Amino acid sequence: MFVAIPPRPQRHFVWATPTLFALLWLAYVLAALHAPAGSLATALDWGVLSGGLDSLEEWRQALADGSALRLVSALFLHADWLHLLGNLVFLLIFGLPAERVMGGGRLLLLFLLGGAVANLAAVLAIEAPDRIIIGASGAVSALIGAYLALLPGARLGVVLPLGLFLQFVRVPAFLLIGLWALLQVGFAYAGPAFGAVAWPAHIAGFLFGIVFALLTKAAIARRLRRQRGY
């Protein structure tokens, strides 16, 4: 298990990351109530399909019938509990410290908008039509990208079980990002077909997070100065 350890005690309240955590878990539980036959049906109803949204006419139709919202609703569906668990763990690892820096509203916007952009990238990049794209991996990738842009030299705490004891060790954040990538590869082979990894979503989400952080860096700096009374 991994947890983020802040460099100093934080007094301000974090709400966006715990809210997203609860919503992702609740959505999985509700979808699982229809399993096993209904799980694929739920993904078809709320997930986004590849092979579309590549013309103005398709965008007009998607906005008119509301199917464009699937770019967001797909973030809250997962292929299985391993797929969900991986996203939840890394949401906490990177989301909590990122929220303390950028604020809850900005982090929530990053998660939803970055996840939607990531899903759109997967829709456009995957050549096979009607592949179901689900999961919060693209949104989590956006958080990771923003985290690195804002805190490039940060180190995170790793909880290592050593017999009956837990040992906390600080490691560079990029090592955990490497672990995140390896887990995504594992999910591609462990999960069902509609839970396969959409790498374009990961890459697009990561890049979106970096750009988002750079564009909002000045506003974030002003927010931190106000918190510290400068």
pLDDT at 76 over 90: yes
pLDDT in tens, 43-69: 888 899 888 898 999 999 999 999 999
How large is the average pLDDT for residues 140-150?
92
CATH code for position 178: 1.20.1540.10
CB count within 10 Å of CB 4 equals 19
The number of folded domains in the chain is 1
The better pLDDT of the pair 136, 198 is held by: 136
Identify the pLDDT of residue 229: 67
Q: Which domain holds residue 144?
A: 13-227
Q: Is 74 contained in some domain?
A: yes
Identify the pLDDT of residue 164: 58
Q: Is 43 contained in some domain?
A: yes
Asked if 176 contacts 156 with a C-beta cutoff of 8 angstroms, the reply is: yes
Q: Is 8 contained in some domain?
A: no
pLDDT at 211 over 90: yes
pLDDT in tens, 79-104: 888 889 989 988 998 899 899 999 99
Q: Is 76 contained in some domain?
A: yes
Asked if 178 contacts 132 with a C-beta cutoff of 8 angstroms, the reply is: no
Using CA atoms of 193, 27, 48, 17 in order, give the dihedral in degrees to the nearest 10.
-110
Res. 155 pLDDT band, cuts 50 70 90:
confident
Percentage of residues of the chain with pLDDT beyond 90: 46
Residue 182 to residues 5, 91, 197, 199, 210, Cα–Cα distance (Å): 23, 16, 11, 12, 21
**Could you give the CA distance from residue 72 to residue 118 in angstroms, rounded to a whole number?**
10
**Could you give the CA distance from residue 118 to residue 145 in angstroms, rounded to a whole number?**
12
**Could you give the CA distance from residue 186 to residue 15 in angstroms, rounded to a whole number?**
31
Q: Is 162 contained in some domain?
A: yes
Q: Is 152 contained in some domain?
A: yes
The better pLDDT of the pair 127, 117 is held by: 117
Q: Is 17 contained in some domain?
A: yes
Closest by CA to 111, choosing from 151, 76, 148, 84, is: 76
Res. 226 pLDDT band, cuts 50 70 90:
confident
